[in-house]
Structure 1
């Protein structure tokens, strides 16, 4: 499976990697990721050394790499 992704720079040197159709909304250090159906997929806040997941869709798959400060959303838009 070959997934197209886009890297998005966030605060504190963090990077979000996700499908380019997903939208990112931010308010200071709080973020919301919106999917192709305009549903909120993920809500989280960032600090220098931590990420706090505040809410996620039940079927959301993601990886957090603390060493590289990346959050990768594995899901792709539904066909």
Structure 2
């Protein structure tokens, strides 16, 4: 086998180093995208659950307040109706 010229070896190694750099950059970009997507998903799910819990708590408070107020309002309307018919 004929030994290659130093310039050929240098050109081939330079090309291989360039390919390796591109491969490493792509791997780092892929890792960054995956980590960002996972963090976004986890954060989004947590915020969604927190929103649902707050909504359920607020709805329960409103419903309990409504249940407490309704008998008083019905009694007032009944008294008004009784006063109007007398």
Q: TM-score, normalised by structure 2?
A: 0.13
Higher normalized strand content (fraction of residues):
1
Higher normalized helix content (fraction of residues):
2
Larger radius of gyration between Structure 1 and Structure 2: 2
Q: Which has the higher contact order (CA 8 A, sep 6+)?
A: 1
